[in-house]
Structure 1
């Protein structure tokens, strides 16, 4: 039985401006463009956290607010809510509504 290669060859079309950035990044990191692409894709998939933002109605408000805080930091989040049902959720995640 033939052993399968651990890599798959692909042909990639990439905009010229993005290719220039890729070349620069690869040179600065002292590795090939292929290694740069692999490193960046690997990091993207490792950093990806599954979210349920594809259907916001299924995402509890507190979790949504916490996700925003984690992604952008509390100093960049301003929340205005006029729904009394949600105020308890804000207290639970320690978010102060904007005046």
Structure 2
């Protein structure tokens, strides 16, 4: 659980406890943006910009921002992975006016 009681900040969904293996790849899909004592999920989530698809918080200390979710799910109860929900579908266009 995050220092602020998490597991996920508003707008993010809990994916699982752990991280994606791609975070440790030679060309990683995630980068560590905070390494401090007592980081909350809200602070971590605030680092999620428009290219971000998910964030993970390790031991309420390390915040990682993901640009892709690929590779294997690595289960770890010390880490929380939260992802952005799917974007809402586009609005339905109005029906054509057939009364002419």
Interval of TM-score (by shorter of Structure 1 and Structure 2): under 0.3
TM-score by length of 2: 0.20
Highest relative contact order (Cα 8 Å, sep 6+), 1 or 2? Answer: 2
TM-score by length of 1: 0.20
Structure number with greater Rg is 1
More helix by share: 1
